[in-house]
């Protein structure tokens, strides 16, 4: 291997290991993130505190209430006689839903085709509220069927089946996503800062007047971060599998191979930013705005792109993390092969090359 290139790589590694902040960002931060996010990101809900206001007070109404408790989704927070205090309980955040059974419940149940019970849900968190709504519909429908078992069955059955993640574990979704975020952070953010630092301290000029050519400089600066990125990515996937039991359905070597394309585009982005910025602070701010935020928000990492307005959906098409998320989740969760990823590979490769060409011209002007 080219010894000049090798020397730059060595120098860069020494820089990294000497600066405790860099190590914090590259190793400690990802580890903390994976543990906290792995545990914290749980959007599935159970033990919803429920207030029961049973005006009927019969064996029938109690049986119905028991159905709610036995579902495992609700726990009874309190029982009350009137509806006047529901606001109070919701505002104290002691309950999230109130079940009101009317006085004539048991009578209606014997004589009417349809008996109404009322449910009030605290809607302030819309996501929680819509999940509670689904639970309520499910419980009442299955109870209706149960008490009429001798006479009817509903005319058609719904047979839902969940693929790829049958236990609906959010960890399985979040941890592969985290790989994309951390890689982007390390590659784009750190590369741009390290190149900007050389500019700021004036050492870039020293390197430029030395017999090293620009390509060697860029490669030398970038390769250590590729290696760090790989180590981090492998670490996250390993912890996800070992600690959080995220099943890996696909080929891990294919994932490693395809990560190269993502790293390529992320690093090119970092190099590109460094040609725009002259100081570390500006490099960092720019990197935050154009790499990290879009990777977090517009990639589908946590929030569904399909629910966003048109403008944001359009912008999401140029976010590299979006394409890598398809790849990594596809391989880890769905176990699908390379034939599904041509579009993604092409985009990542194209974007990386485009950015490199742009930043090369930026670099050259600085040389003269």
Partner 1 sequence: MQKILYLIRKEFLQVLRDKAMLRIIFIVPIIQLILLGYAVTTDIKRIPVVFCNLDESAMSRELISEIKHSGYFLINYYEKDPQKIRDYLDTGKAKIAIIIPIDFSGDLQRNLHPDIQILVDGEDSNTSLVALGYVSNIIQAFSKEQFRDKLLGNPQQARRIHLIEPLIRVWYNPNLLAKNYMVPGIVVMLLTIITTILTAMGIVREKEIGTLEQLMVSPIKPYQLMVGKTVPFAALGLLEIAVAIIVAKLWYNIPILGNLGILTLFAIIFMFTTLGLGIFISTVAKTQQQAIFMAWFILVFGIIMSGFLFPIENMPKFLQYLSYANPVRYFITVVRELFLKGSGITYLWKEGLIMLIFGVTIITLSAMRFQKRIK
- Using the rule CB under 8 A, which residue among 90, 225, 262, 272 binds partner 1? 90
- Residue 186 in contact with residue 229, Cβ under 8 Å? yes
In the β-sheet with 97-101, what is the strand arrangement from edge to edge? 74-80, 48-54, 97-101
Residues 6+ apart with CB under 8 A from 121: 96, 97, 129, 132, 133, 136
* Of 44, 68, 251, residue with least CA distance to 167: 44
Rounded-to-integer distance, Cα 69 and Cα 73, Å: 7
Q: Is 32 in the site for partner 1 (CB under 8 A)?
A: yes
Q: Which of 58, 77, 78, 165 binds partner 1 (CB under 8 A)?
A: 165
The minimum distance between CB 211 and partner 1, in angstroms, equals: 31
140 binds partner 1 (CB under 8 A): yes
User: Which range, of 1-9, 210-218, 239-247, 295-303, touches partner 1 by CB under 8 A?
Assistant: 295-303
Q: Which is nearer to partner 1, 32 or 215 (CB)?
A: 32
Counting contacts by CB under 8 A, is residue 344 touching partner 1? no
Q: How far is the CB of 364 from partner 1 (least distance, A)?
A: 28
Counting Cβ atoms within 10 Å, is residue 253 exposed (0-12), middle (13-18) or buried (19+)?
Answer: exposed
Q: How far is the CB of 308 from partner 1 (least distance, A)?
A: 6
C-alpha to C-alpha distance for 263 and 348, rounded to whole angstroms: 9
Name which position in 70, 137, 201, 203 contacts partner 1 (CB under 8 A).
137
| C-beta closer to partner 1: residue 190 or 267 | 190
Q: Report the nearest approach of partner 1 to the CB of residue 128 (Å).
A: 6
Tell me which residue has tokens 């990594």. 328
Of 56 and 268, CB closest to partner 1 = 56
125 touches partner 1 (CB under 8 A): yes
Task: Say whether residue 164 binds partner 1 (CB under 8 A).
Answer: yes
DSSP for 79-99, please give it.
EES-GGGHHHHHHTTS-SEEE
What would the two tokens of residue 345 be?
């590979």
Position among 2, 6, 17, 24 found at the interface with partner 1 (CB under 8 A): 24
Q: Does 123 bind partner 1 (CB under 8 A)?
A: yes
Residues 91 and 237: their CA atoms lie apart, in Å, by 42
């Amino acid at each position: 291997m080219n010894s000049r290139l090798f020397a730059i790589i060595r120098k860069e590694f020494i820089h990294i290991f000497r600066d405790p902040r860099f190590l914090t960002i590259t190793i400690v931060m990802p580890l903390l993130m994976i543990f906290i996010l792995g545990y914290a990101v749980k959007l599935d809900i159970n033990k919803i505190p429920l207030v029961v206001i049973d005006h009927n007070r019969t064996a029938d109404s109690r049986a119905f209430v028991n159905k709610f408790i036995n579902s495992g989704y609700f726990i009874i927070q309190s029982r009350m006689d009137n509806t006047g205090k529901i606001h109070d309980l919701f505002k104290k955040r002691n309950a999230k839903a109130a079940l009101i059974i009317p006085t004539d419940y048991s009578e209606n149940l014997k004589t009417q085709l349809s008996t109404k019970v009322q449910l009030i849900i605290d809607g302030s968190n819309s996501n929680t509220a819509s999940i509670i709504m689904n639970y309520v519909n499910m419980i009442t429908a299955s109870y209706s069927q149960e008490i009429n078992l001798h006479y009817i069955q509903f005319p058609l059955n719904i047979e839902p089946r969940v693929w790829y993640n049958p236990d609906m574990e959010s960890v399985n979704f979040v941890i592969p996503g985290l790989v994309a975020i951390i890689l982007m952070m390390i590659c784009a953010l750190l590369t741009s800062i390290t190149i900007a630092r050389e500019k700021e301290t004036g050492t870039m000029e020293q390197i430029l007047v030395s017999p090293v050519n620009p390509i060697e400089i860029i490669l030398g600066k970038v390769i250590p971060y590729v290696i760090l990125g790989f180590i981090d990515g492998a670490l996250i996937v390993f912890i996800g599998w070992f600690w959080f039991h995220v099943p890996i359905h696909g080929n891990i070597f294919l994932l490693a191979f395809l990560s190269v394309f993502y790293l390529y585009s992320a690093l090119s982005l970092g190099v590109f930013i460094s040609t725009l910025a002259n100081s570390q602070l500006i490099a960092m701010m720019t990197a935050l705005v154009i790499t990290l935020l879009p990777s977090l928000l517009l990639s589908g990492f946590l929030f569904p792109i399909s629910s966003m307005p048109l403008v944001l959906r359009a912008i999401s098409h140029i976010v590299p993390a979006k394409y890598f998320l398809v790849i990594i989740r596809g391989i880890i969760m769905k176990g699908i092969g390379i034939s599904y990823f041509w579009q993604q590979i092409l985009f990542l490769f194209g974007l990386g090359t485009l950015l490199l060409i742009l930043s090369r011209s930026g670099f050259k002007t600085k040389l003269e």
